[in-house]
A and B are shown apart, each in its own frame.
Chain A
Amino acid sequence: MASLVDSKLGTRDPKPLDAMTEETIQQILSRYPERRSALLPLMHLCQEEAGYLTEDAMRELAARLDLPPIQVAEVATFYDMFRLKPGGQREIWVCHNLSCALLGAEQVIRRLEEVLGVSAGETTPDGLFTIKRVECLAACGRAPAIQVGPDYYGPVSPNDITELVDTLRKQLTVCNQSSSSSLEADR
């Protein structure tokens, strides 16, 4: 697996890219005539692996794609989905854009903050959830909308929040694949 890390990186801890097989990396690189295009897909993979983009991961990506580290860092900070710090095991994305705001998104956010005991942007002390305000999720037909991983919930009212949080907690404990809730997650 040493070949995962470019020799010029020396003997740095190879963890982040280690989790991906060489085959995965080659397969992603093969989609593009220029290596740099593989940056976002590889960043997604690193983040899925570690929960966020670690400094090591970014350094190794830079080496792997022959990019100056600054170019990796500027991409990592440009896109909202990349996390540079550890967060909750599940991010709860609550849309606060117009269609959702018209139907009470702010009340939904307030209730969620109450139930989880943290503000938007923060992570619960047990490390399970981070609340994140997000822009339009393209789920405006079900406003106010919430997305967790691949699942959409909506229309969500403040009264649904305890049940939603229970469902998410159960998903995390069972930690099996997909969800089923009376709130009806939709993909």
Chain B
Amino acid sequence: MYEKILTKRFEVPGYRGTLGEYEATGGYQAIAKALKEHTPASLIELVRRSGLRGRGGAGFPTGVKWGFVPKGSDLPKYLVCNGDESEPGTFKDRELIMRDPHQLLEGILLASFAIGCRTAYIYIRGEFVAGARILEQAVSDAAARGLIGRDILGSSFSLDLHVHRGAGAYICGEETALLESLEGKRGLPRLKPPFPATSGLYRKPTVVNNVETLCNIPHIVMRGAEWFASIGTPKSTGARIFGVSGHVRRPGIYECPIDVPMRELIFEHAGGIREGRRLKAVIPGGSSVPVLTERHLDTRMDFESLATAGSMAGSGGVIVMDETTCMVRVGEVVSRFYHHESCGQCTQCREGTAWLHKTLRRIEEGRGRQADLDLLLDICDNMKGKTICPLSDAAAMPIESYLKYFRDEFEQHIVERACPFGTRA
């Protein structure tokens, strides 16, 4: 049996994630160990060797990202934990925050030590009302114990950590929009370069890391880079928390080696399709990624395997759809979301998302025209690779994939002038 890493404590009876419980189960030993045994450079090297890649969506190697922060400069540096978790279908960071907040705090301490930062922020989405309170309590408990603040555990390492609430905007999960938001502005993504590592929060060197990414760090410090790299594949290492939702018998979060086969995840862990129905489609990494079908079930969930299959690992949110699902309706819901969340800075994205939604709604409502299918592809084509941030691509690629695999369903809507599923649910 695979031994859980990030969610192991979730299974300890009565575990609520208090400081005492965390310490009693080996917590805060990694920061003590790192302060004794590591220099910032050797800690960065350790994380680089572990092969850990970001769990927020892009999968960038964490140690490499930390290494981009200029060394030796006396500019202040910042670590920002991305707790915006808003990608539809994704619900693992909320659990990590609610059920084991100190694991995250320890990860933040280690990352801050590694990049030489003295002030760190947790940007948590505004809707996580209870999550923000839990984190604030955890920060103050840790501070009272000398784990946050000046001269941590008697070392010369000091860190202030603050919880900062967002206020409801998907785009603020994008790292530069997040930094704008943290600066008290609208969440408008910045043109890159410069990248946050050299010019981020308050234009100072900044690392932005996802909640789950940071939760891995204490375990890597305690058990070593080789141990971590032995899980998964050579390029996608470690475990990942998948959130499985939709038409499965047991929706929920499942921590598995990152290269778990999709079939195992859906049919063993999540219990298979409800009511004995047939699987139709799977969105494997949050609503921003292309859909896959039954014939992709043996694909593994690591970054490379999903890319080879024509999709992406994204945020680990796996949305499962059975044979009763109307893919045009799915497109309508997904495009409505991106239209609502586009920040409007780029014409292609602002107009493209509006057109996609309008056209898909028309088709779903039985008012579509034959020319609409080419129109959709044309809009998608215009939206890709031309914008300030990847939201525009994220809105276009899924729709292209629905058309690629389910074009006949779209045509049927147009010919029959109605949704064949009759469920404009």
Q: Residues of A at under 8 Å CB distance from B? A: 31-34, 36-41, 43-44, 65, 67, 71, 74-75, 78-82, 93, 96-99, 101-104, 106-107, 134-143, 147, 149-151, 187
Shortest CB–CB separation between residue A75 and chain B, in angstroms? 6
Q: A141 contacts which of B98, B128, B165, B243 (Cβ < 8 Å)? A: B243
In the complex, chain B residues 90-118 whose Cβ is within 8 Å of any chain A Cβ = 90-91, 93-94, 98
Quick one: CB contact mask for B354-365 with A, threshold 8 Å, 1 for yes?
000000000000
Residue pair B184, A140 in contact (C-beta under 8 Å) = no
Chain B residues lying within 8 Å of A96, measured Cβ to Cβ, are 333
B181→A40 contact, CB < 8 A:
yes
Number of contacting residues on B, CB 8 A?
58
**Residue B388 is within 8 A (CB to CB) of chain A in the complex:** no
Question: Which residues on the A side are within 8 Å of B283 (C-beta)?
Answer: 98
Closest to A78 in B: B186
B182 to chain A, nearest CB (A): 6
Known: A135-B341, A140-B90, A147-B127. 10 other contacts (CB 8 A): A71-B185, A78-B187, A79-B168, A80-B168, A81-B126, A97-B287, A98-B287, A138-B90, A138-B93, A150-B129
| Residues in chain A near residue B253, CB distance under 8 A | 141
Chosen A-B contacts, 14 in total, with CB atoms closer than 8 Å, are A31-B160, A40-B166, A43-B167, A71-B185, A82-B167, A98-B89, A98-B246, A98-B287, A99-B251, A103-B247, A138-B94, A138-B128, A140-B245, A150-B130
Q: Which of B43-88 contact A (CB under 8 A)?
A: 76, 85-88
Q: Which residues of A contact B125 (CB under 8 A)?
A: 138
Nearest B residue to A74 via CB reads B186
B425 within 8 A of A: yes
Q: In the assembled complex, which residues on chain B have CB atoms less than 8 Å from the CB atom of A107?
A: 425
Chain B 256-282: CB-based contact to A (< 8 A → 1; otherwise 0): 000000000000000000000000000
B311-346, CB under 8 A of A: which get 1 and which 0?
Answer: 000000101010001000110011001001100000
Q: For residues 109 through 168 of chain B, which have their beta carbon under 8 Å from a beta carbon of chain A?
A: 119, 125-130, 133, 160, 162, 164-168
Task: Find chain A residues with CB under 8 A from B91 CB.
Answer: 138-141
Identity of the chain A residue whose Cβ is nearest the Cβ of B98 in the assembled complex: A187
Q: Are A141 and B167 in contact (CB under 8 A)?
A: no
A40 touches B164 (CB 8 A): yes
* Inter-chain contact A34/B243, CB cutoff 8 Å: no
A140 touches B317 (CB 8 A): yes
> Of B98, B126, B321, which contacts A44 at CB under 8 A?
B126
Q: Which 7 A-B pairs have the closest CB atoms?
A: A80-B168, A79-B167, A36-B184, A81-B168, A39-B184, A140-B245, A150-B130
Does any Cβ of A come within 8 Å of B40's Cβ? no
Asked, given contacts A81-B168, A136-B89, whether A141 binds B251 with beta carbons under 8 Å apart, the answer is yes
Bits for B18-45, please: 1 = Cβ < 8 Å to A, else 0: 0000000000000000000000000000
> Within 8 Å CB of B207, what residues of A?
none
A187 touches B181 (CB 8 A): no
A41 in contact with B247 (CB, 8 Å): no
B169 at the A interface (CB under 8 A): yes
**Any chain A CB within 8 A of the CB of B183?**
yes
Residues of chain A within 8 A (CB-CB) of B94 are: 138-139
A33 (CB) vs chain B CBs: closest residue: B202
Known contacts A135-B86, A139-B91; is-contact A36 B185 (Cβ 8 Å): yes
Q: Say yes or no: A102 contacts B183, CB within 8 Å.
A: no
Nearest B residue to A142, CB-CB = B251
In the complex, how many angstroms separate the beta carbon of A73 from the nearest chain B beta carbon? 11
At the interface, yes or no: B252 with Cβ under 8 Å from chain A? yes
Task: Determine the chain B residues whose CB is within 8 A of the CB of A149 once the complex forms.
Answer: 129
Q: Report the bound CA distance from A138 to B55 in whole Å.
A: 15
**Contact across chains for A97 and B167 when beta carbons are under 8 A apart:** no
